[in-house]
Amino acid sequence: MPVISWRVVPAVLIVLAAPAFFVALIPWLGWTLLAAGMIAAVLVERLAPALGRPTVRAGTRQDTARVVSRDASIVRDLSLIAIGMLIVSAIPLKAELDNLAILRFGVALAGAVAVPYLISRFVYRDRAIGFPWRGGGRWSWFQWAWLVGVLVLGWLILPFYFITSGVYLNWPVVDTPDLIARLFVGVGAVGIWDELFFICTVFVLLLRHMHPVTANLLQAVVFVSFLWELGYQAWGPLLTIPFALLQGYIFLVTRSLAYVVTVHLLFDAVVFAVLVHAHNPGLFDGFFLV
């Protein structure tokens, strides 16, 4: 266990690049932290006894993943996270709805998921990243109940957050059918991407080297930092931190991408409605409490 605990050090350095990129908006600090994290990962891997290294498994489901011959490499796995963050950090994350902004977002976010996946599969050949759609099978009654709970909590909390804090102004005015449609697609697409990158990439890669609680806390730092630049500012982290941690926990329990995506899309449906409401006073009068 002491060997594995040392692997947290380079992971923390890599993860701290996220607030540097997306909160402080200091690219050189993010690059420095990524470089320091990769150097630390190389040192930890070279100094770690082979017997102390965790075994790498091909696949994300513990019950079906097959053991492969090579050890899990903290260098390889953190390099995938670093590559994804570098791709995302290459564009401004301010919410915009024009064609160029949508194209820019689409290319960068798709690349941040696809490039690490392809490198893992075809260069490193360890299949460290996967997207287990159905996970553990049929959803339990509690899982269905939680979906209802997400809608109720979103309805109660999100209008108060967006409107009283004024953060809805971080999103463009949507006052025509075309802009409303673009916002609907954009909010949903980014929500799906969040789970593909923060959970199925960052969280899964960190899980190979440390305790699930530690891995979840670290992925939440990346998750919340991205959402901050996207617009969830003011006291938004009081909402986004619990949400990120819950999404990590839910995935850990269910191993179902379909379920965490469903939770996220339901939450984002309320976000979309609140943004339209905030920019068009009177449109949803009587539906929201604020």
pLDDT digits (tens, 9 = 90+) for 55-96: 555 555 555 555 544 578 999 999 999 999 999 999 999 989
Show the beta-strand stretches assigned E in 59-141.
Answer: 66-71
Furthest C-alpha separation in the chain: 65
pTM for the model = 0.89
Q: Which of 189, 202, 159 minimizes the C-alpha distance to 261?
A: 189
Residue 34: C-alpha distances to residues 18, 19, 30, 76, 167 (Å): 9, 12, 6, 13, 30
Token code pair at residue 136: 């553990």
| pLDDT score recorded for residue 167 | 96
Give the model's pLDDT for residue 64.
Answer: 55
Query: Smallest Cα–Cα separation from 265: which of 184, 202, 203, 200?
Result: 184
Q: What is the pLDDT of residue 61?
A: 57
pLDDT tens-place values along the chain, 290 residues long: 344 478 899 999 999 999 999 999 999 999 999 999 999 999 999 887 543 444 555 555 555 555 544 578 999 999 999 999 999 999 999 989 999 999 999 999 999 999 999 999 999 998 899 998 877 678 889 999 999 999 999 999 999 999 999 999 999 999 999 999 999 999 999 999 999 999 999 999 999 999 999 999 999 999 999 999 999 999 999 999 999 999 999 999 999 999 999 999 999 999 999 999 999 987 777 788 88
Tokens for 118?
A: 């392809």
Distance of CA 84 to the CA centre of its chain: 11
Q: What confidence tens digit (pLDDT) does each residue in 169-202 have? A: 999 999 999 999 999 999 999 999 999 999 999 9
Distance CA 21, CA 90 (A): 9
CA neighbor of 37 nearest in space, from 80, 1, 72: 80
Kindly give, in sequence order, each residue whose CB lies less than 8 Å from that of residue 65, ignoring residues fewer than 6 positions away.
57, 58, 59
